[in-house]
Structure 1
């Protein structure tokens, strides 16, 4: 029997879509909001809830998940989400998986989580290049969780373990799961790379027996230090409160918690960043070098804060994703 190639491709795609729908059934939908979406930009249709039941810890007050659209351009989304009680991963599957995965932690100053600029846009870019991308919508530490400043770390640890637990479902190598974060999400990324072995939550299932150590870490213009002299004031206050002790500051400054088995790091920052001083990245680099951890660092004279992909266009800093991709090959990620 002769099989038409176009029909075969269509049938294969339909089967894949059914598989995705089945795997996504029963999961919390991704944050979208009520506004119309621009045409031609794929939105995630698949999510993976982190916790089988309620997330660990107690809430001091009820939360309602809310998505705000900050863009006035109908063709460009700039959404932010807060009030997350069901932390989850939004999945971007590549057409041709290269076997590697990247967990993305968007920023937002721990006030909210940026959906598009540091989440979905990065996920689409990675998936177009063969990486399976997971955008993590983590709980915010200033919203009244009893687990306090360890709340985002608990979600990040669980997310890394869950991705590895489901590696076969996503055609990825469980040893090649990297982390990438931006701004306050860069703090989540750097904190995970430093404290992947710290017990941030009680184990509950087989996934929690897996390692939370990322293959490699890429904190991009990250919040790192909780030292008031260089900290991002808003992130520091929402993470640690208004008057943290020196001990608490140190415990949540990844540059002061680097272990001997930390993963390789890729660091990127603009020196004219007025929100998160470049000294955050410089301190983290120095700490990694002191421990003998491989680290690649790129500092740009111009770029400001929060450049992501869209705000980097036309500036020297726009090369950062390709620099990361080239570096990723040198450390065996892809």
Structure 2
């Protein structure tokens, strides 16, 4: 993997990153040089019962590993919420706490949504990958062990990072654009995938692309159509009972990964409604963290850092 020299990252970017000294959280700005296409008239963010909306200043919140010896793996977490709000508590903080027990460093992404629309969320997630990779040494992580995990619309954003990491829309002309934005692996929880057809989640499409999106945008952001052999290894988790984002979304992505010969694993459970997070009492679906841990271990992502 090609990284730029450290001198490229001096100034505002280096100043923005302050490594946490303990597993406690720290929050860092995603765009210390200024948010691209900023909209200063949007007013304050709204925070309500673990959900965040009206985001105009994207950030990463850092959660250190909850073990003595971190393994060098990092996960950028994209909470869901239909590109309208972010379920930060259930699909961000909770995942980070679990990943911490596995020795993983987590970065919960607060990204822009319907107030900006496409391509702002894509730019935010790709900037997050570049920023974390650029600062890998500071966070004691490996630049070739950076994954993206997302739920629902956050799963769509994670899948977008895994398929559109080199797209021109993901660049702003900043020095960090020279760093690879390709995630090394993906974990997709009941993800929105397609922007067309009977399996579409219409609310996510409208919030991201508008009420009357162009055919080109619909195709581009139907991420099952963007899979290539270079798409990262992927774990998919979904349920039959999901009445909000049909299970066909995960199936479409898995089929595309299989055609492209990308290593992929998929667990489709009977029980569990949309947005289940890490809820107990859902039969075998509640054991998905164990299945995910097995997948991470099998891929060497929980091996001690060298």
Q: TM-score, normalised by structure 2?
A: 0.88
Partner of 1:82: 53
Tell me how far apart the structure 2 counterparts of residues 301 and 242 of structure 1 sit (CA, whole Å). Answer: 33
Partner of 2:275: 306
274-283 or 226-235, which deviates more:
226-235
The reply to whether residue 319 of structure 1 matches residue 287 of structure 2 is yes
Tell me how far apart the structure 2 counterparts of residues 314 and 108 of structure 1 sit (CA, whole Å). Answer: 21
Quote how far apart the aligned CAs of 1:60 are: 8.2
1:5-42 deviation digits (Å, cap 9, x = unpaired): xxxxxxxxxxxxxxxxx9279xxxxxxxxxxxxxxxx9
The reply to whether residue 332 of structure 1 matches residue 305 of structure 2 is no
The reply to whether residue 112 of structure 1 matches residue 85 of structure 2 is yes
Tell me how far apart the structure 1 counterparts of residues 33 and 158 of structure 2 sit (CA, whole Å). Answer: 24
3-state SS, counterpart of residue 319 of structure 1: helix
The reply to whether residue 258 of structure 1 matches residue 227 of structure 2 is yes
The reply to whether residue 218 of structure 1 matches residue 195 of structure 2 is no
Summarize the Cα distance change of 1:243–1:60 in structure 2 as closer, same or farther, 3 Å threshold.
farther
Query: Paired residue for 1:136, among 102, 106, 109?
Result: 109
1:258-301 deviation digits (Å, cap 9, x = unpaired): 12211101011001100000010010011111111111010001
Q: How does 1:1-334 map to 2 (within 5 A)?
A: 23=18, 45-59=25-39, 61-69=41-49, 79-94=50-65, 95=67, 96-140=69-113, 142-143=114-115, 145=116, 148-199=117-168, 200-205=170-175, 207-309=176-278, 311-334=279-302
Tell me how far apart the structure 2 counterparts of residues 172 and 24 of structure 1 sit (CA, whole Å). Answer: 12
Summarize the Cα distance change of 1:58–1:49 in structure 2 as closer, same or farther, 3 Å threshold.
closer
Tell me how far apart the structure 1 counterparts of residues 248 and 167 of structure 2 sit (CA, whole Å). Answer: 26
Q: Which ranges of structure 2 fall in alignment gaps of 5 or more residues?
A: 1-16
Supply the RMSD in Å over aligned alpha carbons: 2.0
Moved over 6 A (4+): none
The structure with more radius of gyration: 1
Question: Residues 25 and 64 of structure 2 are in contact (CA less than 8 Å); yes or no, is this contact kept in structure 1?
Answer: no
Quote how far apart the aligned CAs of 1:44 are: 5.1
Task: State the aligned residue count.
Answer: 283
Partner of 2:7: none
Which structure is richer in relative contact order (CA contacts within 8 A, separation 6 or more)?
Answer: 2
Quote how far apart the aligned CAs of 1:52 are: 1.8
Summarize the Cα distance change of 1:256–1:166 in structure 2 as closer, same or farther, 3 Å threshold.
same
3-state SS, counterpart of residue 322 of structure 1: helix
91-100 or 292-301, which deviates more:
91-100
Summarize the Cα distance change of 1:44–1:243 in structure 2 as closer, same or farther, 3 Å threshold.
farther
Tell me how far apart the structure 1 counterparts of residues 263 and 205 of structure 2 sit (CA, whole Å). Answer: 27
Summarize the Cα distance change of 1:316–1:59 in structure 2 as closer, same or farther, 3 Å threshold.
same
Quote how far apart the aligned CAs of 1:228 are: 4.3
